Amino acid sequence: MLIVLKPDVTQEEIDHIVSKIRSLKLEPYVSRGVHRTIITIIGDEDVLREQPFEAIAGVESVKPILRPFKLVSRETHPDRTVVRVGDVEIGANKIVVIAGPCAVEGEKEVIAHAQMVKKAGAQIFRAGAYKPRTSPYSFQGFGEKGLKYLAKAREETGLPVVTEVIDPRDVALVEEYADMLQIGTRNMQNFNLLKEVGKSKKPVLLKRGMSATINEFLMSAEYILSQGNRNIILCPRGIRTFEDVTRNTLDAGVVPVIKDWSHLPVIADPSHAMGIKAYVPAAAMAYVAAGADGIIVEAHPNPEDAISDGQQTIDSAQLVSLIERLGKLARAMDRDIA
């Protein structure tokens, strides 16, 4: 249920409404917009129906929430959310580029990779300290040592870092070192992990499950928001279909739907969507043209030497070229590149 407050509502009236909602064992979420303050109520629908919230001072109207995801919906939060990662704003007018190798490959290597990313013009550095792999015999990452290498790379370059967390028990450790926590496609419905990152104060990059519907994707974001963390970025990364040429099927069409249904920003992953580096730039452009707020792309100085995912990893020159092209596209759309 939504409670729309009057334009001249006082803080005292808001506090009273919130207190009243909590006394009914319901959960209030206050969203302050430019023109209106809205309170979303989550809880027992029978209790909600019986309460005359319209009678409380400061309340203008009470409306049902039509979508199954309440806090993620633009019904409850009409203004777009802008998430800050370090000094970088995601969801504002500027297109953001996140780049780096699939995995942390060593201390010297990760610093060199971060320097390459910064020189190319990207704003955030990505690399996996933990690597969930299909085969148990594949490289699984450096773990905590890799997190320390990432912190060194940030120290050397000033770039914020994003890395994946795969276990609820590791959330506290990863957030010590990372500026943003990534939830990978395999963990999109790992609800214990979603609830744990929901308690974190760090932004979360939530990747779409490889076979997930849009509703399932947004409901996973709802898990995180319901625990109090509102700094969520949604990440389409291709979906699994019958296609056997590319790694996945490009899901650029999901971007305008998400932007219509949700207030959360979108950073798209063309590397995993295509799985072939020659097609990654075109996929990146398609995502941004569809309305994405930026991209996260795998990049490495020498992709043939990359520990993992070399076949979908672009090199330094390709990254520079892609950022230049994205800048031109952004300006054609009355946006800019960070």
pLDDT in tens, 185-206: 999 999 999 999 999 999 999 9
Q: Residue 132 pLDDT more than 80?
A: no
* Cα–Cα distance measured from residue 211 to residue 224, given in angstroms and rounded to the nearest whole number: 20
The average pLDDT across 108-128 equals 97
Q: What is the pLDDT of residues 314-337, one digit of tens each?
A: 999 999 999 999 999 999 999 999
In the chain, count H helices and then E strands: 11, 14
Picking from 9-23, 103-117, 281-295, which range would have the lowest pLDDT averaged per residue?
Answer: 9-23
Q: Residue 175 pLDDT more than 80?
A: yes
Here the tokens at position 144 are 């905590």
Q: Residue 33 pLDDT more than 80?
A: no
Q: Residue 182 pLDDT more than 90?
A: yes
Average pLDDT of the residues of the chain: 94
* Cα–Cα distance measured from residue 104 to residue 141, given in angstroms and rounded to the nearest whole number: 7
Which of 48, 17, 164 has its CA nearest to residue 102?
A: 164
Q: For residue 181, what pLDDT is reported? A: 98
The average pLDDT across 207-223 equals 97
pTM of the entire predicted model: 0.87
* Cα–Cα distance measured from residue 94 to residue 90, given in angstroms and rounded to the nearest whole number: 8
Q: For residue 67, what pLDDT is reported? A: 79
Q: What structural domains and CATH numbers belong to the chain?
A: 2-63 (3.30.70.1140), 83-337 (3.20.20.70)
Q: Residue 49 pLDDT more than 80?
A: no
Q: For residue 65, what pLDDT is reported? A: 77
Which of 182, 186, 201 has its CA nearest to residue 100?
A: 182
Using 50, 70 and 90 to split pLDDT, how confident is the model at 129?
A: very high
Picking from 8-22, 102-116, 271-285, which range would have the lowest pLDDT averaged per residue?
Answer: 8-22
- Provide, rounded to the nearest whole percent, the portion of the chain with pLDDT above 90: 78
Q: Residue 43 pLDDT more than 90?
A: no
* Cα–Cα distance measured from residue 190 to residue 185, given in angstroms and rounded to the nearest whole number: 10
Picking from 53-57, 95-99, 248-252, which range would have the lowest pLDDT averaged per residue?
Answer: 53-57
HEC string of 127-144 equals CECCCCCCCCCCCCCCCH
- Provide, rounded to the nearest whole percent, the portion of the chain with pLDDT above 70: 99
The helix (H) or strand (E) run that includes residue 221 is: helix 214-226
Q: For residue 305, what pLDDT is reported? A: 93
Q: For residue 142, what pLDDT is reported? A: 85
The residue that leads in pLDDT, 36 or 151, is 151
